Structure 1
Amino acid sequence: MDRENPQQAVISFEGITFFSNFDSGNMSKAYRVGLNQFELHVSPDAACSGHNSYRTWFYFGIKGLKKNTLVKLSIVNLGFMRVFSTSSYRPVWKCIPSSTEWKRLECDVSYETTYTVYYKLSWSFEVPANDNEIFFAYAPPYSYEETQETMRIFEKNCPEDCKVWREVIAKSLDGRNSELITFSHKNNFSEVAEATIPDLFVEKKDRCLVSKKPIIFITSRVHPGETPGSFVLDGLLQILLSNDPRAVAIRNAFVFKIIPVLNPDGVYRGNFRVDQNGINLNRCYAYPDQNYHPTIYAVCKYFEYLAGKVKYYFDLHAHASKRSCFLFGNSLEVDKQIENQLLAKLIELNTGYFEFSECDFSIRSMTSKDPKDHNSKEGSGRVAFYKKIGIIHSYTLECAYYIPRPLHIIPSPMNLKSGKRFSELIANDLFSVQVHNRSFFNEIASSLIYSILDYEKINPISRVPLSEFRFIEAAKEWVKAKILSQTRNINKRNITRTEIKSVKRYDKGAGYPKINTRRIHKPNIIAPMFQEGIQMLSRGKISIFMGKLASSRPTSFYA
């Protein structure tokens, strides 16, 4: 066994070989306990440094099995994870070269105590083909090298009217690259390159040009095992490369700064939550140390350089504790909190896999401590960047590993220029990792882009007009009423008389503004039958010709 990488092993039994000696692999031991029955051990995160927590991630391969052989596999030293005990959990598998897409196992999985501190996860599998390497994993893996390949593909397919830079913002402790991707329309950059920043961008290459537009900053994989972060990032990159009018709008309005992997060593070593020293890097943003947290130190220093140019920050994570995707946000003053939570509500309008009710914008979500290492969330990127720089829209996106179907119905998108419903296009899969639920990750990614466009009132194809709100301001009033209704003791809050009246008006029943039932219209023509539309008509903002809606100001739906 390699003492530096105990999670990467090769073990053979009479022609059958178990192996995990590859990028993101984790399996330390294997034992034969019967005919085609094997017990496996995983290595805890940062075992080379003496740590013994987070026995969760597994990823290994088997070769030498014959077609139609039924094997039983048991991992006998896992830590407790509630998701393992649910009936919906399944490990994933793929078979190379016959089936290269990651799929969920169809058989039953058992999870039981071993009467020690560990738990046992077991399943059976029938080999589908001869001369194949079969891989199993906790969730669809996304290795460090695969993220590098995805960035190469993204750079190669950059539209002609856009610019993309790939720069190494920092080197990890093991010497791996942590890249910064800068992307936008060519017109959004000045002719001056960004300044040289001490200790950052160690490779002697030309820096990217200074941004003239607000920045959307996205980071991912600070926790190595949270691979949905990389799949959602795939979806974002795919949208940015497309010809969809919404992609064009977001490219023209913003500059994107993306760090695909914040913990490259943890990803490569097959860890679940920490780096090779057992450190949760998402608790180090408040006081990063370049010697121990070089990638986090680099991000923090670069944020300080960008100062007030960053308008949106998303840190992409994954969870296995709730049924939907959701956001962690910060607890702000009332006026800022309305803007903060409005974006989350718009995301819910744009995807059926996201639930606003599960989002957490409490003080507790900014200050609570981890049960294992007792480090506070005040050291997370979301909280630290808000406190240091004052970014209102600073979020942690928690994406589920698997959701079988949408959780609620979303309104159809409408082309605001033509007044007709818009048919969604199926995006081409450009990237390196094939996974069975790619459309789920793509929809979460697209909802972030579309919601920002809605919030900025520049979305050419929006779902808001056909939602229960019909206008952005109505959604904003709904969010405002919800926030004000959460605290009944008004005297202890610093709010205006107008806000007090709002509380009284909305404090009936559930405490939310009443929304009239939307009428059903013809499939392709949106008639101005809404009360707000009639009011706008009386003000001369909307003109009607031949029963169709024609607006000289498409963004009037955002009024």
Structure 2
Amino acid sequence: KFGVFPFQSSCDKDVILNILSVLTDLLSLGTGRRIHYVISKGGSEALLQALATAARSEPPDHGTLLPLLRLLARVGQRDRKFGLKVQKAEATDVILSLTRRNLGHHLHLTHCLWVLRVCASNVTTGTILGINGAMELLFKVITPYSKRHIRTVSHDCQTGKSSIQPFLSFSESNSRRAVNRGYLGELLRLYQDWHRNDVSNNYICIRRGLLLCLKYITNIQLGRETFLGCRGMEILFTSVQDCLSCKNLDAIITTATHILRKCYPKEHLPVVTVRSSYSFHLPGNDKAEPPCEGSEGKWLKGDCESEGEEEDEKDLDNEDVESKEEDYDLETDVNKLKSRPVLDRPEEELGQYEAMCPELSQNFQELEFESEEKKSLEDRTENLPCAPSHFIPSATSVKHPSCRWRNQSVTEMGPDPGEQDFKVSRQSWRKKEECKWDHTDEKRDIAKEAQDTDYCEEEDPARSHVLSLCPLPKDAAWYKKLFDPHCEASINPSPGGRLESSDIVRNLLEKHQGDIPFHSPRFYAARAKCVKSIPGYRDLAFPDFWGHQPPPYSRPVLERKHGVQRDKVLDDIRRLIQPGDVIGRTVFDLDDPSNSSPGAPDCLAFFSKFESGNLRKAIQVREFEYDLIMNADVNSNQHHQWFYFQVRNMKSAVPYRFNIINCEKFNSQFNYGMQLVMYSVKEALQGRSRWVRAGQEICYYKNHYRCSAAAGGGVRGRFYYTLTFSIKFPHKDDVCYLAYHYPYTYSTMMSHLDILEQNRNPKKVYWRQQTLCQTLGGNPCPLLTITAMPESKNRDDLEQFCNRPYVFLTARVHPGESNASWVMKGTLEFLVSSDPIADLLRKCFIFKVVPMLNPDGVINGNHRCSLSGDDLNRQWLTPNSWLHPTIYHAKGLLYYLRSIGRAPLVFCDYHGHSQKKNVFLYGCSIKETLWQAGCMVDTAVVTEDVGYRTLPKILDKVAPAFVMNSCSFLVEKSRESTARVVVWKEMGVLRSYTMESTYCSCSHGLYRVSKSFT
């Protein structure tokens, strides 16, 4: 143990050298504990004092100084207060003086540089050294390429880091000093010189050290501006191109790419405003939306000042970030966790929800009458698509008889008469004054409309096509009329100016094989007519109308090719370096259709004005490359993630690159093997009607577009991200649809409920479909009640029927999470099926189901919000009956069930997770929350039923996609207004869950690396 270092008390050089030798040997072996022990006993101070004493001798005794400097460098790396100790010992001038004296001696200089590097790790010390001339001194060390200076520069950069870097990375003032004195331009020239002369790649560490210096200087705005003025973009871009062919230069390429991305001039999105193209006037809100200046308003000072952070090519693992943030967000107030808030509405209001529980007052003496009425309704709809019997099979397809349908038209894409497309026209919806309707009458109307041979005519003109849908050659005339934009001459308008197209739809429906389970084009179109949307959709997307089947195979996740993100980023930078290669033609613009030029030769045509569609703008960048911009959620300026659009006029076997440039999430499953989905009309008409995973060279990364604080609602410099992918379309002149995930529209859900109701076994399945409420947009939000019919009419069976516990299920509160609807679809099909387990569940429970909590958001192509611009899953705490009607009434129904002593046994809200794999649950637990937060738990005060873990454990055993280890039962402050937490806290539902299902694949179990979940 060394309590005292006798450097000052001894003047004997041999004694000092022996002590230094012993210390060096001791600290070179073992763990860092020895160094920390020396530091705790004042070792750093003693070494600094010995250095000052040795440096004062004339001439300096390098035999003593060199081991001293080595020890200082080693100890200083572990001493967090080393910089302050250097200042206190007044050793900064001593170290700088030694460095100046040894500029011509590379071995002595190297030891001085080691200590300077450690000193500069302290911001204050580094700044003082910079003021005293350390920057000028260090830039003398880095010289142009020459064999004479290679040893000195190599020793300084032997680890790929120069001694200048700590001065630049820890002190902005030093970076500004370097810029103001012209060192940035000098660094660029030095790097260019070393890059040009190091043809054998022997000095990669020196070249990377120079790049790291540039990276730290460009952390500040002044550095980036100077870098651009010195043609730094062109210099580094050229050097990177020279390095791409050599794998050994990945470190240089990565560092140079970081600098290029950081210094790329920040731009606004090429849109009029970041606010949604659609707006909805909210009830009680007389304030008009503020006009937007220019594209997005002016940059505010500091909007781009956060560019200094290093962004690795390997994207951050979002799960780790979430877990770190989660601990700081946990609710640790036991009183808040245990308290049950008061009712958020007058108690007398709860009486209205009695009508939504008909199963509690059902008069089963009238079952015979109901059966006769049901039979009459079935007789009226016997020609409609239905299952072969009333029993819904669990794994067999539903065959639909062929049908005829007249006067249904195929319309154009948009207002431009030159545009041509394949979409089924829909009747414009009419405003209804009633807030509620009788479901039975509505059901009969839908059935009548689907069966009716005289369909409503459209007011707008539509193109007429006569086509035959038997197996067709590629050059079939109907293909040309359907997909060729130059076929107008073959179309004969009707005398009134309307183009008749009933033959197309009639032939389509006659050729529909009816092999898609639980889907009918006629039911879908009948339901779609009644949908109310802000744009007033007149067209149906073909995949939703025609239907689709799951692919008969599973596919592994996409393997990410090494360097694909780097290559895409360099392509983006090439636009700045070589602007002459950029076409910059707008081919689709939702805000201003007259601004688009879809008729250009060799140019794709886009369209998105259909239910759940989302594409705002398409810009042709190069011949086969397009920038795409998504629309924000209605009444919002954010939530750009969901996309669903149509593209046509393509060439086959040609890779088209698409860049969606205004995504907002900082990470995505697209970086981990996920692909988008594509639907080909030609494939569907040839009997392969299915969404397929598509896209190669997929990556997701931060781009150079920014949203100013003024346009972003005060959010400073909001970043945007690019999702880029390449697709080779299978057919020429096809019509294809691309989507973020498998679309599931509101009309799909409503028609699916119609078919389920028609095909259930009424003797075994109790089914009631009611309207929970009308949405803001005037669309009904359905509420389902599913259970088993009572065994008989005797009192015991009826009492058992009424006393079954409730299970409350909801889904699709976030419109972009379409996988939640597919999971709900499977749930409903199973619950009404003839499967013995389903029959047992119906006999044990009453299922209350709200299959779509946010119909308006789904209809209008939103990603997260409703028409109010609010995230409905953050409104459960205090929902507004006008702005959030579905949440308000769903919560009211839960309140009512609790008030009559029938609170649900289980509540589960279905969601989709865009950044995690597998299926898992979020629940609520007081004890687990307190334990995770590190709080002491008094078991006498906090008692808790652990039954909330029962269902997850069961699912972990029986469901291959479910992973218990991904589940969490923590209560976060930021989640206190979600359905899961509110139902747990206010309704007292112990088993209140959010179920998350991945967009892409499983990492565990039977479905590992498979992606065919929905």
Contact 2:765/2:832 (8 A) holds in 1: no
1:401 aligned residue (999, 1004, 1012): 999
Q: Please name the residue that 2:960 is paired with.
A: 352
- 1-side partners of 2:738 and 2:666: how far apart? 18
Give yes or no for the alignment of 1:80 onto 2:665.
yes
Match of 2:218 in 1: none
Q: Deviations over 1:126-176 (max 9, x none)?
A: 121245321111111111111112211211221231121111111110101
Query: In structure 1, the residue corresponding to 2:825 is in which secondary structure?
Result: helix
Q: Report if aligned partners of 1:190, 1:211 keep a CA contact under 8 Å in 2.
A: no
Amino acid at match of 1:60: F
Alignment-derived partner of residue 774 in structure 2: 171
Counterpart among 916, 921, 926 of residue 327 in structure 1: 921
In the TM superposition, residue 86 of structure 1 has moved relative to its aligned partner by: 1.6
Is this contact kept in 2: 1:325–1:397, CA < 8 A? yes
Partner residue of 2:622? 34
In the alignment, what sits opposite 1:383? 981
1:305 matched residue in structure 2: 896
Deviations 1:444-496 (CA, angstroms, capped at 9, x unpaired)? xxxxxxxxxxxxxxxxxxxxxxxxxxxxxxxxxxxxxxxxxxxxxxxxxxxxx
Does 2:828 correspond to 1:237?
A: yes
1:378-428 deviation per Cα after TM superposition (whole angstroms, max 9, x unaligned): 211111112222111111101111215x71369xxxxxxxxxxxxxxxxxx
Q: 1:45 aligns with which of 630, 633, 657?
A: 633
- Can you list the C-alpha shifts for 1:226-266, whole angstroms capped at 9, x where unaligned? 11111111111121132222111101111111111101111
The Cα of 1:323 is off from its aligned counterpart by: 2.5
**Equivalent position SS for 1:343:** helix
**Distance change (3 Å), C-alpha of 1:339 and 1:72:** same
Q: Larger deviation: 163-172 or 65-74?
A: 65-74
Aligned mates of 2:590, 2:821 — CA distance in 1: 22
From 129, 132, 139, give the equivalent of 2:741: 139
Aligned residue number for residue 524 of structure 1: none
Counterparts of 2:646 and 2:748 in 1: how far apart (Å)?
17
* Whole-Å separation in 2 of the counterparts to 1:190 and 1:292: 43
Q: Secondary structure at the match of 1:86?
A: helix
Is this contact kept in 1: 2:277–2:632, CA < 8 A?
A: no
1:98-153 deviations in whole A, cap 9, x for unaligned?
A: 14322222522133332223222222211212453211111111111111122112
**Amino acid of the residue matched to residue 248 of structure 1?**
D
Write the distance in 1 (CA, Å) between the matches of 2:667 and 2:741: 15
Partner of 2:493: none
Query: What residue number does 1:101 align with?
Result: 690
Higher relative contact order structure (alpha carbons within 8 Å, sequence separation ≥ 6): 1
- Whole-Å Cα distance in 2 between the matches of residues 323 and 120 of structure 1? 21
1:25 maps to which residue? 613
CA shift, 1:348, in A, is 0.5
What is the root-mean-square deviation in Å for CA atoms of aligned residues?
2.8
CA separation of 1:69/1:251 partners in 2, compared to 1, >3 Å: closer, same or farther? same
Query: How far apart are 1:282 and its partner, in Å?
Result: 0.8
Q: Indicate conservation of the 8 Å contact 2:590/2:617, yes or no.
A: no
Which of 153, 171, 180 is matched with 2:783 structurally? 180
Aligned to 2:911: 317
> Structure 1 residues 216 and 224, CA, compared in 2 at 3 Å: closer, same or farther?
same
Query: 1:67 maps to which residue?
Result: 652
Higher helix share: 2
Do the aligned residues in 2 keep the contact of 1:189 with 1:211 (CA within 8 Å)?
no
**Higher strand proportion, which one?**
1
Q: Are the equivalent residues in 1 in contact too, given 2:767–2:787 (CA < 8 A)?
A: yes
Counterparts of residues 111-260 of structure 1 (less than 5 Å) = 111-116=700-705, 117-160=719-762, 161-187=764-790, 211-260=802-851
* Partner secondary structure for residue 296 of structure 1: helix
Deviation at 1:64, TM superposition (A): 2.4
Amino acid of the structure 2 residue aligned with 1:346: I
8 Å contact from structure 2 (residues 671, 699) kept in 1: no
Q: Which moved more, 1:151-160 or 1:122-131?
A: 122-131
The 2-side partners of 1:234 and 1:354 are apart by: 18
Contact 1:8 1:22 in 2 (8 A): no
Q: Secondary structure of the equivalent of 2:700?
A: strand
Return closer, same or farther for 1:294/1:190 CA change in 2, 3 Å cut-off: farther
Separation in 2, partners of 1:383, 1:243: 34
Deviation at 1:212, TM superposition (A): 3.4
**Whole-angstrom CA distance in 2 between matches of 1:190 and 1:331:** 42
Q: Confirm or deny that 1:58 pairs with 2:643.
A: yes
Taking a change above 3 Å as real, the CA distance of residues 141 and 342 of structure 1, as seen in their structure-2 partners, is same
The 1:227–1:388 alpha-carbon spacing in structure 2 relative to 1, beyond 3 Å, is same
Q: Paired residue for 1:489?
A: none
Letter in 2 for 1:129: H
Q: For each residue in 1:197-241, what CA deviation from the matched residue of structure 2 results, as whole angstroms up to 9, or x when unmatched?
A: xxxxxxxxxxxxx94311111000111111111111111112113
Q: Are 1:89 and 2:697 counterparts?
A: no
**Structure 1: which 5+ runs fail to align?**
193-209, 370-376, 411-435, 442-559
The letter for the 2-side match of 1:81 is: F
Q: Write the mapping of 1:389-538 to structure 2, written as runs, cut at 5 A.
A: 389-404=987-1002, 407-408=1004-1005, 440-441=1013-1014
Equivalent in the alignment of 1:363: 971
Deviation at 1:188, TM superposition (A): 8.0
Unpaired stretches in structure 2, ≥5 consecutive residues: 1-275, 280-533, 536-588, 706-718, 796-800, 928-941
Please report how far the alpha carbon of residue 13 of structure 1 lies from its aligned counterpart in structure 2 after TM superposition: 3.8
Matches within 5 A, 1:1-16: 3-4=278-279, 12-14=598-600, 16=604
Name 1:274's counterpart in structure 2: 865
- The count of residues paired between Structure 1 and Structure 2 equals 385
Q: In the TM superposition, what whole-angstrom CA distance separates every residue of 1:324-347 from its partner, at most 9, and x where no partner exists?
A: 221111114676442111211111
The answer to whether the 8 Å contact 2:678/2:694 transfers is yes
Q: CA contact under 8 A between 1:182 and 1:256: conserved in structure 2?
A: yes
Deviations 1:246-303 (A, max 9, x none): 1111011111111111011111111111112220111111211111101111101111
Q: Is the 8 A contact 1:188 1:212 kept in 2?
A: no
8 Å CA contact retained: 1:190, 1:212: no
Kept after mapping to 2: 8 A contact 1:188/1:211 = no
Distance 1:340 1:293, change over 3 A: same
8 Å contact from structure 1 (residues 331, 337) kept in 2:
no
TM-score calculated relative to the size of structure 2: 0.36
Distance 1:37 1:213 in 2: 59
Secondary structure at the residue paired with 1:108? Answer: strand
> Are 1:110 and 2:695 matched, yes or no?
no
Q: Tell whether the 8 Å contact from 2:669 to 2:915 is kept in structure 1 after alignment.
A: no
Cα 1:401/1:110, change in 2 over 3 Å: closer
Separation of aligned partners in 1, 2:791 and 2:733: 52
Q: Per the alignment, in what secondary structure is the counterpart of residue 848 of structure 2?
A: strand
Q: Which has the larger radius of gyration?
A: 2
